[in-house]
Each structure stands twice: as C-alpha cells, then as structure tokens.
Structure 1
Amino acid sequence: MTWCTREEAARRAGVGPEYVTRLVEVGLLSPEQPDRFSPGDVRRVQTARSLEDAGIALDDVVAAVERGSVSLDFLDAAAYERFAALAPETFRQVSDRTGVPLELLTVIREAIGMAEPSPDDLLRDDEMEVVPFIEFQLSHGFRATAIERLVRVYGDSVRRITEQEAAWWRSEVIAPALAAGENPDRTELADEIAPLADRAFMAVYHAQQARAWTANIIDTFETMLANAGIHSRLERLPAICFLDLVGFTRLTEELGDDAAADLAGTVALLVGRNSVQHGGKPIKWLGDGVMLHFGDPGRGVHAALGMVDELADAGLPPAHVGLHAGPILYQEGDYFGRTVNLSARIADYARPGEVLVTREVVDASRDDGIGFDDIGPVELKGVSGTVHLLRARTA
C-alpha cells in the first residue's frame, strides 16, 4: 500500500489540506498515524466532497456514520481502486513534456463526460493512462482529428456501458438490500465480481475487434487484388434503414418503468438478431425506432420485412420502415448525410406494416425472394423534388 502525507492526500483528492484536516476532526477520516493516509482515505476525501457537491451536508453524513446507518469503509475495497486520484502534472506540463497538443489532451477529460479542463488543471491518474496511446499515434503520423474522434467514441460508448452497469448494480444489489433493511455495502461481492466484469468486458471488446478487423482485412485484400487485376471488386453502395414503431414511446409511458424496460428489451432483441442475420447492425435508437446500417441493400430489405413480421408476431405496435442506398458520411461512430436523412423521411411516409424503398435499393437488390410494388414519385417532408418509392414484399 502506498501511504501519503496530508498535503499529498489533499492534492490527490483535489482539495485543500484544511479540508482533509476537517474530515479528520469530524471523524470521517481515521488515519493510523497523524500524517499517514491510505489510498482508501483519499477516496473517502473525494467521496465526501462529492456528497457535499450533491447537496448532502457533511454534518448529516457524520451523524449517519455515528449512528451506524452508513459507512465509508467500503472505499478500502479493491474494487474501488478504479476511483482515480489526481496525478502530479497539469495538462500544460504534460503537453510540454510529450509534445501532444493541449487541445488534444483536454479531449480525454471531455470524453469521460467531465467539463473541459483549464491548461493548469491536474490530470487524473486514469487520464494519464490514455496519454501514451495518443502520443504513440501522433509519432506515427496519425491525424489529430482521427485521434480525437476515436477518444470521444471510446468515452461515449463506455459511458453507456457503465451507466447500464450502475443500473444493474442498483437493481440487483442495492435495492434488495435496502428493501430488506440491510446495509447495501457488499464489498466482498464487489471485490469478487469486479475482475470478472473486467474480463467479460475485454472478451466482448476483443470479439468485436476481431469482427471489425476482419472486415478491414477483407476490404484491403479486395482492393489490392483489384489493383493487381486479379479480382473484380463489386462496388455496392450501403443502405440506411429507419424502423419506427407506431406509438411506442406513448405505450412505454403507459406501462410503467419495469414493463417499458422489458418491452424495449424485446424490441432490441428482435431487431438486433434480425439485422445481424442479414449483415446489418443497429446504429442508434431514436425514440420510437431505430436506425440500422446494411452493407448490402438487398439483405437490408430482407431484414426489414422480417423485423416487421416478427415485431407484429410478438404483439408489439406495427412498424413502418424506410430504406435508401447511397453514399454515407461516417464520423464518431455515427452516420450522416443525405442517404440518412432521406431514409428517415421515407420511414415517416410509410404506413404501419409497410417497408418502402427507393429505386437505388431496388437496383442494388439481386434476390428473387423479394418483390417490389411501384408507388411512384412522392413528395416527402423536408426533401426537395419528388422521390420514386416502391413497396417491398416477400415474393
């Protein structure tokens, strides 16, 4: 264990030494020696400050600890070692030392979901772990804009994971303990499950990497073989699909939180399975629906028809779908551009149970299992001119 002085504990917690002294005086800190503080003590200082910032008076915390109602002892558990303290260098100092531009370093903190730091703010220990990754990329000619996008996507994606993880811990550990009148301090359980969760997360992450890297390998081989005149590469524009459920948001509000969560989970499961089976992937959820990407427009139509049927069979509100194939702009884990906008407008135009597509999707579909009924040119809200639409069906 690494011990530190009062001044060092205060610096690592981001407070003044007088705040540490105050916590000792009120009994929230009980160092073994007057000027010897543990990493758990630093975390207690951070937590006390967070509680005060959240509007919980320190005197109330002290009173609860004295009654035995709450305890901060759980912060000594190994699972809480991921609560990072402040490092000894500022953003400006790290920039000067490594050559990493200051504005790129501050992206690390923003990606975590915190406010933009000033150049003279201290980095956190966990933020320091990201610096060598950025430094390495710059030394090998990676563009700063590409690095920033990746770091922001890391932050946004992991934020969603950790928020769901926190909700899972509340529902499965904290809430049952409180309902039973027990102390929710399950440090032994946390210490056991934290490394298992880390391993599970990394396993899923590496599996996702393998899939994405394989796609890169295939794409690179196709390009190199085509350049060598050995292989003729088939160029096919991707498709964006928007699927909306009629009145889904209103229905979830009427059902209550638990039933709404179950219903949303059913939708996500059916949509996710069907899209993956046809080479697609859900990009993001949007209120009553979802946006999906398909490398092959024809397979996207198959998936859309299947999703409409399966959602109806599950007793869910009817779905209406729009697909368009064309160039897509990709940035920070999301897709943009006219293809995306047009697909969304087509989905808005579609009636319940309909899968409407553009001529571009039909031309890119080479599957006898799909039929199309001509609707003709239509005017769509927010789209200039007319768009020729067709209704997809199973042949």
Structure 2
Amino acid sequence: MDGATGRYTCDELVERSGADAGFVDRLLELGVLAPAEDGTFGPGDVQRVRLVEACDRAGLRAEAIAEAIGAGRLHLGFMDSPQYRWSELRTETFGELADRLGIPFEVIRQSGAVLVNRHLTPEDRTREDDEAIFTIIGLVATMADLDALVRIGRVYVDGLRRVAEAESELFQTYIIGGLMQAGTTYGEALAQSAAMGAQMTPLMEQMVLTLYRRQQERGWTEGIVEGIERALETSDSQAMSTRPPAFVFIDLAGYTALTEEQGDAAGARLAREMNAMVERIVADHAGTPVKWLGDGVMIRFQHAGQAVRATLAMVAAAPAIGLPAHAGVAAGPVVMQDGDYFGRAVNLASRIAGAATAGQTLVTGAVVELADDPGLRFREVGPLDLKGFADRVGVFEARAAG
C-alpha cells in the first residue's frame, strides 16, 4: 500500500523507521506491534519501533517491554497521538539531497553536526524534514561563511533543546508525577498525559513561535533603528550623535555561602526570586536580560540613564528576597554575535560589578557622561586596577538624588 495514504506495509514500516527488518519481526512476534486488519501499519507504529529499538540498544530488552505491556503495566498506544508525528526516514540520501539542492556536501556535513546532531555521510538517509533545514542553510551559505552558519545553528539548537527539556520536565515531574501521586500507575498516567498532550502540543508550538516572533520583532527593529541612525550620521543634511548601549552585571552577595549553609533548595529559591525581581524592574526601564548567571544576570539597556536607574532599583530590592546585591554598569560600542554581546563595555561592567561591595552600584566615566539624568548622583571612588585591563579605570558610585 502507498505510504502517502498514511498506512504502510511492513516493508515501508522498516524503511521509514530505519530499523532492521529482523527487529520489526521480533516486535511482531512479541506483540509489541500489531498490524491492522488489512495488514498495514500507521505512523504511530513507526515511532513505537524507534522507541523500543532505542530501549533495546540501551539494555531495556524488547522482551521485557512486551512482558510489561502484556501485564498491563505499560501502554504504548499513546504514540498514536498526533504530537508524536516526528519525521520519518526517506529513501533519499544526504548526498542526493545536496546534489538536488545544489549545495556542496561539506556545507551539509558541517552544519548537520550541529543542527541534526549527527556526523553525516553522503550515504546516510534523510528524514522528511531535512529538506526544509538544509534548503535555508543553502540559501544563507551563499551570503555568509560556514563558521557563522554553524555558530547560529548552535544557538538555535541550544535554545530549542532547553525548551524541549523544560516541556519534558513539566510532563514527567508535574503532570505524570501528579497523576501517580493521586494513585494511578505509571502506564495509566502516561496514557492520560498523552491525551492532554494532544490538546496542548499545538498550542505550545504556537506559543513558542509567537514568543520567537516577539523577540524577533524586538531584535530586528532595534537593528533597523541603529542602521537608520548610522545612515543619518553619514548624511550631509543631518548628523546624529551615537548613543552606545549600556550593560549591567548584577549579582547577589553571599550567595555561595548561603547555598553551602542552607542547601541547594534555598539557593534555587533565591535565584528564582532574583530572576522575577530583575524581570519586573528591567521591563519597567526598557532593558533586556541577555543571559542569566545563576545568582546574577547580564542586562542590556539602550540608554545609560535607564541602566543606572534600573540597577539602583534592583540593588535596593534585593535584600527583600534574602541577600544584598552588588552591580556594575558600563557603556560603549559592542559586537553582537550568536545572541550575546562582546566588547570592552561588557567586560568593564562585569569587572566593576565584582569590585562593588554589597548594596553598591559602580559605573564607568562613560556612563556618568551619557546618563544625563538630574535624578542621579555620582561619587568618584577613584581609578581601580581591574583584571584584564592594562590601565586603571575611573569608577564612580551611583546613587539616586536626594
């Protein structure tokens, strides 16, 4: 029967799952797989073959799985749910795909190591969704070098891996775990959570796409505005002064000692409350968290004055969550790469944050000049020797006026 109808012959099941024909026969004999009345199989059977084969390779023998199914302790019927429609294997190889798309195989090989987590050869068979991945890679490869493609691919994969892991934790720990605490068996909880997942998965996928587009809008718009500013700076009719961004590093003072004394759970609670506090205050001052650092965070602001005001508010709010904070603010041109920022201003903000005492916010001279805010006061604390900087750096303590 034609696989395009959604029903597969046994040979097509073997082909689409990538499993050995003997292993599929073994699953049929064990009763893990059962064909329909017409002798065909469905997409869920492809996923079942893959799952049980992976378990079998890991030492969870197919015979033991079959025994658990027969005893009613395990059910794999949930894999017929629509959220388990992961892509299947095709007969086309990566070498053939490269030729058809007009892409050097080396582009597929190097980018594939990151994007599909495999060291590909021209003889390896593609999956149904590989064409979508490598078509765009081929287009971008004509305008960007391969190293840049690999780096941005790593950012995509790492970010989405964290999303997928968080989803798995939600289902395994809280949904399935909650059902089991209520008295259901693991197999029953798995089946019930699969029914819930069938409803939630399309919504979660749409949510991820929506959140991505929101961040895309923010990042792209900022880049476009900066491009317009550069164009106006070189215009004969109008010149604009450059306003470099400001960067903040803020950390909780005494976090390591508290964690050692009270345990990891207390440390995790503090980090969560720190994150919530930072997100609230940063949003009020048009800032963007760049990366979370356990007990601290790196934040970007377009304007130095907003950066200082937000940082003072965060340092003032920190004791209420359990520990004081210390922070550093620097401003200047930076290079953005792979969703992160690099440059002297970033390094300065990190170093002076480390030099600040509990409850203190230190800033560079550039921040003082750029802040232009009558509600702020700056007291010179003198040039400091900072690791990684040949010359001493002029540093000021920031405070709110009055």
Shift of 1:154: 2.0
Report if aligned partners of 1:358, 1:390 keep a CA contact under 8 Å in 2: yes
Q: Which residue of 2 aligns with 1:334?
A: 340
Match of 1:127 among 127, 130, 141: 130
Q: Which residue of 1 aligns with 2:384?
A: 378
How many residues were matched structurally? 392
Counterpart residue type for residue 175 of structure 1: G
Q: Which residue of 1 aligns with 2:33?
A: 29
Q: Which residue of 1 aligns with 2:92?
A: 89
Counterpart residue type for residue 289 of structure 2: P
Counting only pairs closer than 5 Å after superposition, residues 45-60 of structure 1 correspond to structure 2 as 45-60=49-64
Partner of 1:30, secondary structure, is coil
* Distance of 1:223 and 1:369 partners within structure 2: 30
Q: Which residue of 2 aligns with 1:197?
A: 204
Shift of 1:382: 4.0
Change (3 A) 1:55 1:281: farther
Report if aligned partners of 1:308, 1:320 keep a CA contact under 8 Å in 2: yes
> What CA deviation, in whole Å up to 9, does each residue of 1:151-191 have, x standing for no partner?
33222222222222222222331111122232111232111
Partner of 1:322, secondary structure, is strand
Match of 1:322 among 293, 317, 328: 328
Tell me whether 1:99 sits opposite 2:102 in the alignment: yes
* Distance of 1:236 and 1:327 partners within structure 2: 9
* Distance of 1:142 and 1:322 partners within structure 2: 35
Match of 2:281 among 274, 284, 290: 274
Deviating more after overlay: 36-45 vs 335-344: 335-344
Counterpart residue type for residue 52 of structure 1: D
Q: Percent identity?
A: 36
Tell me whether 1:283 sits opposite 2:290 in the alignment: yes
Shift of 1:252: 5.3
Q: Which residue of 1 aligns with 2:171?
A: 169
Counterpart residue type for residue 163 of structure 1: E
Shift of 1:143: 4.8
Counterpart residue type for residue 157 of structure 1: G
Deviating more after overlay: 255-264 vs 23-32: 255-264
* Distance of 1:11 and 1:258 partners within structure 2: 48
> What CA deviation, in whole Å up to 9, does each residue of 1:27-80 have, x standing for no partner?
111112686221111000111122234442222211111110111100001121
Calculate the aligned-residue CA RMSD, in Å.
2.5
Q: Which residue of 1 aligns with 2:230?
A: 223
Counterpart residue type for residue 88 of structure 1: T
Shift of 1:145: 4.4
Change (3 A) 1:261 1:234: same
Shift of 1:268: 1.4
Change (3 A) 1:68 1:335: same
Report if aligned partners of 1:240, 1:323 keep a CA contact under 8 Å in 2: yes
Q: Which residue of 2 aligns with 1:295?
A: 302
Q: Which residue of 2 aligns with 1:12?
A: 16
Partner of 2:241, secondary structure, is coil
Deviating more after overlay: 100-109 vs 272-281: 100-109
Q: Which residue of 1 aligns with 2:154?
A: 152
Partner of 2:322, secondary structure, is coil
* Distance of 2:260 and 2:83 partners within structure 1: 36
Shift of 1:14: 2.3
Match of 2:81 among 77, 80, 88: 77
Given the two structures, how large is their TM-score scaled by the length of structure 1? 0.90
Counterpart residue type for residue 170 of structure 2: W
Report if aligned partners of 1:322, 1:347 keep a CA contact under 8 Å in 2: yes
Partner of 1:130, secondary structure, is helix
Change (3 A) 1:366 1:315: same
Tell me whether 1:244 sits opposite 2:244 in the alignment: no
Q: Which residue of 2 aligns with 1:363?
A: 369
Partner of 1:302, secondary structure, is helix
Q: Which residue of 1 aligns with 2:180?
A: 178
* Unaligned 5+ runs, structure 1: none
| Runs of 4+ with >6 A deviation | none
* Unaligned 5+ runs, structure 2: none
* Distance of 1:67 and 1:222 partners within structure 2: 70
* Distance of 1:138 and 1:311 partners within structure 2: 46
> What CA deviation, in whole Å up to 9, does each residue of 1:219-254 have, x standing for no partner?
333334444444432202222221111233554576
> What CA deviation, in whole Å up to 9, does each residue of 1:106-159 have, x standing for no partner?
4554445724333432232233322232334346x4554444443332222222
Change (3 A) 1:111 1:237: same
> What CA deviation, in whole Å up to 9, does each residue of 1:278-315 have, x standing for no partner?
23211111232111122222221111111111222x33
* Distance of 1:322 and 1:96 partners within structure 2: 53
Change (3 A) 1:168 1:113: farther
Report if aligned partners of 2:114, 2:150 keep a CA contact under 8 Å in 1: no
Given the two structures, how large is their TM-score scaled by the length of structure 2? 0.88
